[in-house]
Chain A
Amino acid sequence: MSEPTRQLHVAGVGLWLPGVPNVEAWRGGARGITSRDEEFPKPSGASIERRARRRASPLCRALADAYCTAATQANIDVSTTSSVFGSALGEVTTMLGLLDEMSRHEPLSPMAFATSVHSAAAGTMSISAGNRGFTTSISAYNDTAATALFEAIGLLHSPGAPVIVACGDENSPDRFVSEDHAFDMLAVTLALVPPDHPAPRLARLSGPHRAEADLPPAALPPRLGRNPQAGLLDLVAAIVAGQTGTVALDRGRGTGWCVTVSEA
Chain B
Amino acid sequence: MGSPSLLPITGYSVCNALGPDRTAVLQHLRQGQRGLGEVPFPLPFATVAGAVRDPLPELPPELAGWSNRPTRFAKHLVDQLEPALARTRERWRPERIGIVLGTSTSGADATEHAYAHFIEHGALPDDYDFRKQHTFGALVDVLGRLTGARGPAWAVSTTCTSGAKPFGSARRLIASDVLDAVIVGGIDTLCAMTLSGFHALGALSSAACKPFSQERDGINIGEGGALLLIERRGDGPAVLEAVGESSDAYHISAPHPEGLGARLAMQRALHEAGIEPGDVDHINAHGTGTPLNDAAEGKAITAVFGDEIPVVSTKGYTGHTLGGAGAIEAAISVMCMEEGFVPPSPGVEPQDPKITANITRALIERPLRRVLSNSFAFGGSNASVLMRSA
Known interface pairs A136-B381, A140-B137; 18 further A-B residue pairs with C-beta atoms within 8 A, sorted by A's residue number: A6-B178, A110-B202, A113-B200, A119-B381, A122-B381, A123-B252, A124-B252, A124-B379, A130-B249, A135-B381, A137-B156, A139-B137, A141-B138, A144-B154, A154-B172, A154-B173, A154-B178, A257-B152
**A114 CA to B255 CA, complexed, in Å:** 13
Pairwise interchain contact B135-A139, C-beta atoms closer than 8 A: yes
**A131 CA to B264 CA, complexed, in Å:** 12
Pairwise interchain contact A99-B152, C-beta atoms closer than 8 A: no
Interface, chain B (partner A; CB < 8 A): 1, 3, 44, 93, 95, 98, 104, 108, 111-112, 114-116, 118-119, 124, 130-131, 134-138, 140-141, 152-159, 165, 169, 171-173, 175-178, 192-193, 196-202, 245-253, 260-261, 264, 377-381
CB distance from B262 to the nearest CB of A (A): 11
Pairwise interchain contact A108-B196, C-beta atoms closer than 8 A: yes
Pairwise interchain contact A139-B380, C-beta atoms closer than 8 A: no
Pairwise interchain contact A114-B246, C-beta atoms closer than 8 A: no
List B contacts of A55 (CB < 8 A).
252
**Interface residue? A40 (CB, 8 A):** no
Given known contacts A108-B197, A176-B134, A138 and B175 CB-to-CB distance under 8 angstroms = no
**A141 CA to B157 CA, complexed, in Å:** 13
CB distance from B193 to the nearest CB of A (A): 6
List A contacts of B118 (CB < 8 A).
175
Pairwise interchain contact B158-A120, C-beta atoms closer than 8 A: no
A-B contact pairs, 9 of them (CB 8 A): A1-B93, A4-B177, A115-B252, A119-B381, A123-B381, A132-B246, A140-B153, A150-B152, A151-B169
Query: Which residues in window 104-123 of A have CB below 8 A to B?
Result: 105, 107-110, 113-120, 122-123
Contact of A99 (CB < 8 Å), options: B112, B153, B156, B201: B112
User: Which one of B98, B114, B165, B176 has the highest number of Cβ atoms from chain A below 10 Å of its Cβ?
Assistant: B176
**Interface residue? A177 (CB, 8 A):** yes
Given known contacts A108-B197, A113-B197, A90 and B249 CB-to-CB distance under 8 angstroms = no
Pairwise interchain contact B158-A136, C-beta atoms closer than 8 A: yes
Pairwise interchain contact B130-A147, C-beta atoms closer than 8 A: no
Given known contacts A114-B201, A126-B379, A138 and B157 CB-to-CB distance under 8 angstroms = yes
Pairwise interchain contact A122-B158, C-beta atoms closer than 8 A: yes
Pairwise interchain contact A114-B135, C-beta atoms closer than 8 A: no
List B contacts of A52 (CB < 8 A).
252
Given known contacts A3-B95, A105-B44, A140 and B155 CB-to-CB distance under 8 angstroms = yes
List B contacts of A151 (CB < 8 A).
154, 169, 172
Pairwise interchain contact A136-B137, C-beta atoms closer than 8 A: no
Contact of A153 (CB < 8 Å), options: B95, B178, B201, B245: B178
**A116 CA to B381 CA, complexed, in Å:** 15
**Interface residue? A133 (CB, 8 A):** yes
Please give me the residue from chain A that is nearest to B198 by CB atom: A113
* A164-197 near B? 1/0 per residue, CB < 8 Å: 0000000001011100010000000000000000
**Interface residue? A30 (CB, 8 A):** no
Pairwise interchain contact B379-A150, C-beta atoms closer than 8 A: no
List A contacts of B141 (CB < 8 A).
141
Please give me the residue from chain A that is nearest to B159 by CB atom: A117
**Residues of A within 8 Å of B, CB-based: how many?**
66
Please give me the residue from chain A that is nearest to B203 by CB atom: A110
**Interface residue? A202 (CB, 8 A):** no
Pairwise interchain contact B104-A154, C-beta atoms closer than 8 A: no
Given known contacts A127-B380, A132-B261, A154-B172, A114 and B154 CB-to-CB distance under 8 angstroms = no
List A contacts of B1 (CB < 8 A).
157
**Interface residue? A155 (CB, 8 A):** yes
Contact of A122 (CB < 8 Å), options: B93, B198, B202, B379: B379
Pairwise interchain contact A143-B378, C-beta atoms closer than 8 A: no
Ranked nearest first, the 3 interchain pairs of A and B with the lowest CB-CB distance are A123-B379, A154-B172, A141-B137
Please give me the residue from chain B that is nearest to A56 by CB atom: B252
**A143 CA to B193 CA, complexed, in Å:** 27
Pairwise interchain contact A147-B152, C-beta atoms closer than 8 A: yes
CB distance from A161 to the nearest CB of B (A): 13
Given known contacts A137-B158, A138-B156, A144-B154, A119 and B249 CB-to-CB distance under 8 angstroms = no
List B contacts of A181 (CB < 8 A).
131
Contact of B201 (CB < 8 Å), options: A110, A124, A176: A110
Given known contacts A120-B379, A139-B154, A151-B169, A126 and B249 CB-to-CB distance under 8 angstroms = yes
**A52 CA to B116 CA, complexed, in Å:** 31
**A212 CA to B279 CA, complexed, in Å:** 50
List B contacts of A98 (CB < 8 A).
193, 196-197
Pairwise interchain contact B158-A119, C-beta atoms closer than 8 A: yes
**Interface residue? A102 (CB, 8 A):** yes
CB distance from B253 to the nearest CB of A (A): 4
* A30-74 near B? 1/0 per residue, CB < 8 Å: 000000000000000000000010010000000000000000000
Pairwise interchain contact B177-A141, C-beta atoms closer than 8 A: no
Contact of B104 (CB < 8 Å), options: A118, A133, A141, A158: A118
**A176 CA to B260 CA, complexed, in Å:** 41
**A52 CA to B2 CA, complexed, in Å:** 39
Please give me the residue from chain B that is nearest to A146 by CB atom: B152
CB distance from B52 to the nearest CB of A (A): 23
List B contacts of A173 (CB < 8 A).
130
**Interface residue? A213 (CB, 8 A):** no
**Interface residue? A129 (CB, 8 A):** yes
List B contacts of A135 (CB < 8 A).
247, 381
**A52 CA to B199 CA, complexed, in Å:** 22
Query: Which residues in window 201-248 of A have CB below 8 A to B?
Result: 208
**A176 CA to B117 CA, complexed, in Å:** 12
List B contacts of A176 (CB < 8 A).
111, 114, 124, 130, 134
